[in-house]
Amino acid sequence: MKDIKSNTEQNSSPLGRPGGAIDIKTHPCFNKDAKGKYARVHLPVAPQCNIHCHYCKRDYDCVNESRPGVTSEVLSPEQALAYTIRLKEKMPHLSVVGIAGPGDPFANPIQTMTTLRLIRKEFPEMILCLSSNGLNVLPYVDELKELEVSHVTITLNGTETKTLSQLYKWVRFEKRGYFGEQAAEILLRNQMEAIRALKRAGITVKINSIVVPGINDNVIVDIAKKMKEMEVDIMNTIPLYPVEGTPFEDFEEPSPKRMKELQNGIKEYLPPMTHCARCRADAVGLLGQDDAEAKQILSEVSNLSVNVDKTKPYVAVASHEGLLVNQHLGEATQLYIFRETPNGYRLVEQRATPKPGAGNSRWAVLADVIDDCRALLVGGIGPSPSSIIGRAGIKIVEMTGLIDEGLDAVYKGKELRTLKKADVFKCGSECSGKGTGCG
């Protein structure tokens, strides 16, 4: 059996960083010795989810409830950076920045990747950690490696579609919704591919499994066996926490005895995590001891307006007709360019976008074309363009709705939302999953 401690030590400079400035032994979730000494913070920048777990219910403004999926505030990436800077001043022992919701980090990839980039730039020594359902991790693995994200948790609740289909209401993948065993098959395939790619990238992978009596408690050890084959590092079994208003509200929590049995079972294959605390999506402080003063900082920071580069006068918009933000960047042959004037917003011109066919250099050229724009409002955008254009210092706002609303957010410093089209597959505040998978 692989020993997580030696694995951690072996990875103390896992990504080839000379001198190993990121000391992953200070990760309190992965190293018991670090638990009482080092703090972690979850940045709640990922409000949406791309699957619907039957055990999840994501809530806001519930400061007394300590479970994943719950947060008091949702931050923009810039607010998250400001929050981390203030926290680090207050708690120099903060060693880990994690993103774990309140939805899924990769259902909100722009916010997640932008946040990681900002944090990495400001804090080269910080451990970066993510917790995801795994559905949409694969396209971002190379970038996670480049950003020296060292730890990723994937929630895997089974290795058979029959089991998984009883745990999820739906899965949304590549803009389509799936149900039943088809949903389970798509989720499982993507989870497996993500885990393989993360391991190839040298990232420490933890599996979280939610133990739901009568549904997957008999397959938890099988998960451990399969994950050992895939060289996963550690496994965390989390008892179902039945939440009112979810399909599993009347289920029994698995007994401590049953959880112990399962931990003993998985021990044969993987090191079990034994000091896990159920964490909120905005958890902060030492494990199991959330810091009240930090919560106050979170609340203050959430009221900060978003930073954009105000030396750039314009905003670029992907729109079919110049009234609504309603076009995917990949489809846009031109962008509308707006600026703010004393009499309101004025359309200055339309600029052609580079033609498709040149791979990612198309997006580098586009970043040059709109170099004088502080933001780009789009109805949709892929991971490569969002990364390339975002790195050029242009704020990306993925939304649908009136252009004026997006311009108000950018120019007037109102809360910058990345609103996506509401549909049956959007897991917003109505999500009735329970959240135990995301933390």
Contacts to ligand SF4 by CB under 6 A: 29, 40, 42, 49, 51-53, 56, 58, 69, 96, 98, 100-101, 103-104, 129, 131, 133, 151, 153, 279, 427, 431, 433, 435, 437-439
66 Cβ neighbours under 8 A, 6+ residues apart: 278, 279, 280, 283, 290
351 Cβ neighbours under 8 A, 6+ residues apart: 316, 334, 335, 337, 369, 370
Token pair of 200, please? Answer: 């190839």
Tell me the closest approach of the beta carbon of residue 105 to ligand SF4, in angstroms.
9
- Residue 326 CA: distances (Å) to CA of 54, 235, 346: 32, 42, 19
Comparison of 8 and 131: residue with beta carbon closer to ligand SF4: 131
Token pair of 259, please? Answer: 């959880």
Paired residues of 94 in beta bridges: 39
Tell me the closest approach of the beta carbon of residue 180 to ligand SF4, in angstroms.
16
Other C-beta atoms lying within 10 Å of the C-beta of residue 192: 17
Comparison of 254 and 437: residue with beta carbon closer to ligand SF4: 437
Tell me the closest approach of the beta carbon of residue 104 to ligand SF4, in angstroms.
5
CA 408 distance to own-chain centroid: 26
Tell me the closest approach of the beta carbon of residue 428 to ligand SF4, in angstroms.
11
Closest residue by beta carbon to ligand SF4: 56
Cβ(293)–Cβ(87) below 8 Å: no
Comparison of 151 and 374: residue with beta carbon closer to ligand SF4: 151
Comparison of 26 and 387: residue with beta carbon closer to ligand SF4: 26
Other C-beta atoms lying within 10 Å of the C-beta of residue 342: 4
Comparison of 153 and 319: residue with beta carbon closer to ligand SF4: 153
Tell me the closest approach of the beta carbon of residue 416 to ligand SF4, in angstroms.
22
Comparison of 88 and 151: residue with beta carbon closer to ligand SF4: 151
Tell me the closest approach of the beta carbon of residue 129 to ligand SF4, in angstroms.
3
Distance CA 35, CA 288 (A): 9
Paired residues of 52 in beta bridges: 170
Tell me the closest approach of the beta carbon of residue 321 to ligand SF4, in angstroms.
34
Comparison of 76 and 436: residue with beta carbon closer to ligand SF4: 436
Helix (H, G, I), strand (E, B) or coil at 111: helix
